[in-house]
Amino acid sequence: MSPVTVEKITESCKLGEGPHWDADKKVLYFVDIGGNRVHKYDPATRTLKSLTLEGVHFIIPVKGKADKFVINMGRNVVLMTWDGESSEPAALEVIATVHDEDGSRDNKINDAKADAAGNLWAGTLGPIVNNEITPEKGILFNLAKDRSTKTHVTKISISNGFAWSPDNKTMYYIDSATGKIDAFDFDITESKIGSRRTVFNFKENGVEGLPDGQTIDTDGNLWVACFGGKQVIQVDPRTGRLLRRVEIPAQNVTSVAWGGAGLDELFVTTGSIGMDRPDELPMAGCTFRVTGLGARGLPAQSVVL
């Protein structure tokens, strides 16, 4: 097995999140939540193109529609037109708006991902008061192709990572505040979930930090970003075993995505905010490419609208 290499590919941002590898264009999209930026990184040219948008937490291409992306702006799901080069989007269209369980409008959408059928799954987090997120104010929902939304789970605190098993029968999900990775039975035809259970507990396994974004490899193992833990971990969700730790030179590791020509490179986003000693980890907030892991992922899915 090749040695594992962690390479910095972008400069620091405040809170990098939501990496999505576009296998057709061979570029990486991600956002800087704290800096209100959307980025496109091209590994072939090592160039970064960016635009400024407030309140964006994720970016996912729309299948079969050039220059179209689904993003969020606060609690709105938005269809964005962007050529990937300009510093401003060509168009923004709100296609759905989500509310708190009680109907109030304090929530904002956090992490999101499309399943293999092209349906968007996303979750929210509650209002931030005195630098603390209001617990159990978020929801887990999906956006159907007719642009309607359906709430599946309530009382979520910090909605984060999504991943699906290779057979699409299980959806893995993270509410970061719980310190756990959960699984649901998944019906991709009906966009239904059920039988929630915990498959990995950070505290019980002595893992530092909180679970954030995640992805899955072709063997069905999860790769999970550890916010506050300076690492990405590999977990077998079927046995609950911790398989591997990959050290990242940033305290707050936020998300992960497979990419590269063979889908065997792991792109890792991090944040520079919330650090006690920023000088100790000067690469905090940078985006990294990890190679030599001996694993590969599944293609990232686009949204079907």
Predicted confidence (pLDDT) per residue in 274-289, tens digit: 766 656 788 999 999 9
Q: Specify the pTM.
A: 0.96
Q: What is the pLDDT of residues 14-58, one digit of tens each?
A: 999 999 999 999 999 999 999 999 999 999 999 999 999 999 999
R_g of the chain computed on alpha carbons: 18
Rounded-to-10 torsion of CA 17, 256, 208, 234:
170
What confidence category does residue 242 fall into, taking pLDDT thresholds of 50, 70 and 90? very high
CB 158 within 8 A of CB 177: yes
What confidence category does residue 253 fall into, taking pLDDT thresholds of 50, 70 and 90? very high
What confidence category does residue 223 fall into, taking pLDDT thresholds of 50, 70 and 90? very high
Amino acid identity, position 173: Y
Q: What is the DSSP letter of 302?
A: P
Residue 102 has pLDDT above 90, yes or no: no
Residue 62 has pLDDT above 90, yes or no: yes
Q: Is 167 a catalytic residue?
A: no
Residue 140 buriedness (CB in 10 A; 0-12 / 13-18 / 19+) = buried
CB 156 within 8 A of CB 180: no
The confidence score (pLDDT) of residue 279 equals: 63
What confidence category does residue 128 fall into, taking pLDDT thresholds of 50, 70 and 90? confident
**Average pLDDT of the chain?**
94
- 111, 115, 175, 212: which is the annotated catalytic residue? 212
Q: What is the DSSP letter of 299?
A: P
Task: For the domain made up of 5-291, give the CATH fold.
Answer: Neuraminidase (2.120.10)
CB 127 within 8 A of CB 107: yes
Q: What is the DSSP letter of 15?
A: B
Q: Report the percentage of the chain scoring pLDDT > 70.
A: 96
N residues, the chain = 305
